[in-house]
Each structure stands twice: as structure tokens, then as C-alpha cells.
Structure 1
Amino acid sequence: MSAAEKSEQQRLSVFKTYKLYVGGKFPRSESGRVYEVSDSKGKWLANAPQSSRKDARDAVVAARKAFGGWSGATAYNRGQVLYRVAEMLEGRKEQFVREVADAEGLSKAKAAAVVDAAIDRWVWYAGWTDKIAQVVGGGNPVAGPYFNLSSPEPTGVVTVLAPQESSFLGLVSVIAPVIATGNTVIVIASEKSPLPALSLGEVLATSDVPGGVVNILSGRTAEIAAPLAAHQDVNAIDLAGADEVLAKELEIAAADNLKRVVRPQAVDYARTPGTERLTAFLETKTVWHPTGSLGAGGSSY
């Protein structure tokens, strides 16, 4: 046996440590808890952090802190940032193919198709960042000497319950439109298959997405979602990954500060999406301005 073969036999396996992604950093769960993640055949894959209520509150603080800068960035710049995420995913495609295949019980070829679709989805939403305002905003005809202009603005901090079964394509499909329109997001990864989501945090950290714009938590969905639905500094919640019972409970909790709620619905994430998720977390600001001369020192429009 050669020295190289002996060395290979003596090496210890280096298992990956998955961590949360909060505020641009990778903390372990505040509680120190983890839970086992297995593939579709029951084989152990990794220990994922089991987030606590404290982790959820920390994620809200990070998302709120990042909101001003992200919402104030130009739509064109946000598009560049989202496209950069797609570039980074392309470079780590092999890793995500493996994780998606394990998570969803797919062949390598089918998992590769899913990952390709997810990367394309990032590019698709990147292209919408500076176009959605033309779709939902514009000039309004009014009776009087005024300009009346409506423009979209982001809702704020959004909590997203990622789809439980579509661990990567579904995940991307609910995150990308939220941040494309200037919101910041707290994502609760699929409870059963959180590893692609946690790996996505590593991609975001090495792309141009500012820390805190996307925060990713893993653990028991109901346990993490409850304090976020009731949190007074969360402005909206997407219940994509909630079952009927949990969705009803969270919707009641969200009503306390009039959060905007997107109810769970059957979605084929493989299909090209419309603009529904882009407009789900936008508010409309309307500005009136007089036309004509404004007098001395004024301007004409």
C-alpha cells in the first residue's frame, strides 16, 4: 500500500457544520440545540441548528437595521445584487445539486434541473427590480391643475415560511421577490429539509447582499413562526410553508399589528411566476403636485 493510500485511510471525515445566517453572520442557535436531518431514505445527513425565540428576535433586529439602506438603494442596484447571487450559485452548483437530491429524493439529473431553475429564477427576479414600478405605478388622471403620481414602496420587514417540500426552488421563489422590491426578510427554512437554505446563507454572505437583508433560521417551524407572527416590528408574513392549522394560528397573531398576510396556496414552483409575489409586499405612495407656475422662485412643470 502506498503512502498516499495509507494517509487517505487514516484521515478523519470532515463533516460540515451548518449554522444560522443572521445579520450577515453565522451564529449557532442561541439555545445550543440541534436536530437531526435525514435524507428521503432515513440516512443521517447533518445536524441543523434548532432556532429559539431569541434567534427569531435577533433576526428581526438585523432585518430592521438593514431595511433603510436596502430600501433606499436604487432598483437598478438591487438588480445587480440579485444577479450576483445567481453568479455565485452557478459557481457552487455541484454542492446544491447534491443537497437537493438528498433533501427531495431526486436523481442527480432531476436535482440538477431544479438547481438550474432556481438560478434562473434569481436572474428572472433580478430583471424585474427596475421594471415593477412601471407596472404598478404611474400617473393618475385627476380633475384639477395637479400631477398625481403613484409609486410603489416596500412594506418593510417580512417573515417567510419557506415551502416544506420544495427545499430550494420553492425557497428561492419566495425569497427573491421579497428582497427584489426593497424589503428585508426573515426566512424559516423547511423543517424537514433545511440544508439547501442554510447553504444559501453562505452564498449570500459571499455575494453583494448587505448583512441583515436576508436572515435564515432553521428548526421547528411552528416554534419559530409564532413569535415572528406576533412581533410588533415585523410588517408582513408569507405563510407558504404553513399547514392549514398553523396558518390560521399565525394569521390571528399577525392581526395584532395589522401585518400584511399571504395565505398558503398550491403553487407549482417549476412554472414561471407572475408578478403576484413581487407586488404582495409593496405599498403605494401617491403624491400630488400643482402644475404650472408656483410664483416667485417657483418652478413650472
Structure 2
Amino acid sequence: MSDTRLAVAKTYKLFVGGAFPRSESGRSYPVTDRKGRFLANAAQASRKDVREAVAAARKAFAPWSGATAHNRGQVLYRVAEMLEARREEFVAEVTAAEGIPAKRAQVAVDAAIDRWVWYAGWTDKVATVLGAANPVSGPYFCFSVPEPTGVVGVLAPQSSALLGLVSVVAPVIATGNTCVVLASEERPLPAITLAEVLATSDVPGGVVNVLTGRTAELAPWLASHSDVNALDLAGAPGELRADLERSAADTVKRVLRAPVTEPDWARQPDISRLRAFLETKTVWHPTGI
């Protein structure tokens, strides 16, 4: 019997509705590191996969947005716990995906874990910070209450395979939204491994859906989908941004525009991404009733 063995290669699939289906088209594409060395084949999603991911996100929206803020915070913290447990695996994947030294990858992974914890802590504070009891002259109360927008299409950053991804996904779900994420086209592997963490934590199926494939093919379908309420263009290529904004306008989506230059995802975030996909609801209520 030979002492050598072949390692079992990992199969990277989509993440839709809490399950890991292959693309309905049966397509895949090769993923390489920065030196052109083959890493794996990733599923190449299609228009139908986008539709199914949006349907899963819509189905999950009511129970997720209806959960208490405290519960959502606990769920996000559980994700951080699971990330911590698989830290070395993520370090290896980020090292390969981004072509950076292991020490830099460790810093990025630790920052991603800490970011989940940071957003978990905000879930039950957003209403206090962004809501208000408005002064009025009359026998009634007037309250402004932040509420989630709905289903958010997220174009993940292209260069920051894990930290950038966490930085755009965590605030979306922390505020009660659900999302369909287009992973980095060239560096999608950490996104699917993150999906495995989400699937084995307490995040309900459909709250986060992850698609891999060609951004230029998938983003227009996501931007024009009538059941997507908002769009985050963080990872949109420059040549697509204007067209995606126009498509989003046709269905009156809230759009978070892409920055002119790639932001430093390692910087401590503010609450702008928490605010980005919240709507303010004003409630009037008579006094004494």
C-alpha cells in the first residue's frame, strides 16, 4: 500500500437559502492566485441563480427583520465565534486569494472577526442613536423609528476577499435586512468559506445568499430585479457603475454608491453603513390612550 495519498479537493458551490447548490447552468470557472497558479474551480452563477437567491432573501426578510435586536446581536456574535474557531483556515485562504504574507493575512482575518463583534454590538443601539422622540405642539407623541429597507443586493469588494466582504455584509444584516451578495470575481473562495460559517451558525437560511461568477454578467440582473430594495455598489467595476445606477433607478432602489477609490477596509468603521439601508418611519400617537 502506498504511503502517499491525494488530498480531497474542496468543492466551492453557491450559497442560497441556507443550502449549497451548484449553479443551475452547470458552469464553473478557474480561480487562480496573483501569480496565476490554480487554486480551485468556483461555481459560475446565472440569471436564474440570481432570481432564486432574491426569492430566498425575500422569504427570510419577515422573520429576520421581526426578530428582536438583541437576538440579531447574539446571532452575529455567534458568527464571530465560528470565525474564530476556523481562524487558521481563513488565514490560509486569504493568503492564497490575496497573495499576501501569512502575517498580513492574520491581521486581516482578526480584523474581520472583530468587525463582526463590533456590528453585533450595534444591533440593539441603532434605534436609540438613529431614532428620536420629536418635539411637537399638541396632545400627541411623535416618534421617528429606523426600519430595515428589505432585500439588499451587495457587490462585494474585489480586492479585500474577507475583511471587505464582512465590512459590507455585517451592517446589512445587523439592521434587519437580508442580502444577495456577489462575491469578488477573482477572489471568491473566502466568501464561500464564510458562507459555511453562516450555515453552521445561527443565521437563518436566506438571510445571506452568496453567488460567485462574473460580476459584469450578474450585477445588471441584480440591479434591475424588482424585488431587490437596495443596492450596495462597493465592488462594482467603474465601467458598470453608471448603468447599474440607472437600472436601480428604474425600480426605485436605494443605492449606496461605490467610492471613487478603494477604501482602506482595515480602518475602524463608523455607522454610515448601518444607516445606509434603514428607512425612517414616523409614528404619531395621541397622549392619554
Alignment of 1:89-108 (within 5 A): 89-108=83-102
Q: How big is each residue's C-alpha offset from its partner over 1:88-120, in whole Å with a ceiling of 9 and x where there is no partner? A: 000111111011001111111110110000000
The residue aligned with 1:279 is 275
- Determine whether 1:250 maps to 2:244: yes
Q: Match for 1:38: what amino acid?
A: T
The residue aligned with 2:154 is 160
The residue aligned with 2:285 is 289
Alignment of 1:1-301 (within 5 A): 7-9=2-4, 11-265=5-259, 266=261, 267-292=263-288, 299=289
Which 5+ residue runs of structure 1 have no aligned equivalent? 1-5, 293-298
**Moved >6 Å (runs of 4+):** none
1:291 to partner: Cα distance? 1.3
Bigger radius of gyration, 1 or 2? 1
1:41 to partner: Cα distance? 1.0
Question: How many residue pairs were aligned?
Answer: 287
TM-score w.r.t. length of structure 2: 0.98
Q: Match for 1:225: what amino acid?
A: A
1:211 to partner: Cα distance? 0.1
Q: How big is each residue's C-alpha offset from its partner over 1:52-87, in whole Å with a ceiling of 9 and x where there is no partner? A: 000000000000000000000000000000000000
Q: How big is each residue's C-alpha offset from its partner over 1:185-225, in whole Å with a ceiling of 9 and x where there is no partner? A: 00000000000001111000000000000000000011111
TM-score w.r.t. length of structure 1: 0.94
1:244 to partner: Cα distance? 2.1
Q: Could you tell me how far apart the structure 2 residues matched to 1:77 and 1:127 are? A: 11
Aligned CA RMSD, in angstroms, stands at 0.8
SS in 2 for 1:285: strand
1:284 to partner: Cα distance? 0.6
Q: Could you tell me how far apart the structure 1 residues matched to 2:253 and 2:163 are? A: 26
Q: Could you tell me how far apart the structure 1 residues matched to 2:207 and 2:2 are? A: 44
Q: Could you tell me how far apart the structure 2 residues matched to 1:84 and 1:270 are? A: 22
Q: Could you tell me how far apart the structure 1 residues matched to 2:287 and 2:235 are? A: 49
Q: Could you tell me how far apart the structure 2 residues matched to 1:205 and 1:38 are? A: 26
Q: How big is each residue's C-alpha offset from its partner over 1:130-175, in whole Å with a ceiling of 9 and x where there is no partner? A: 0011111020001211100011100000000000000100000000
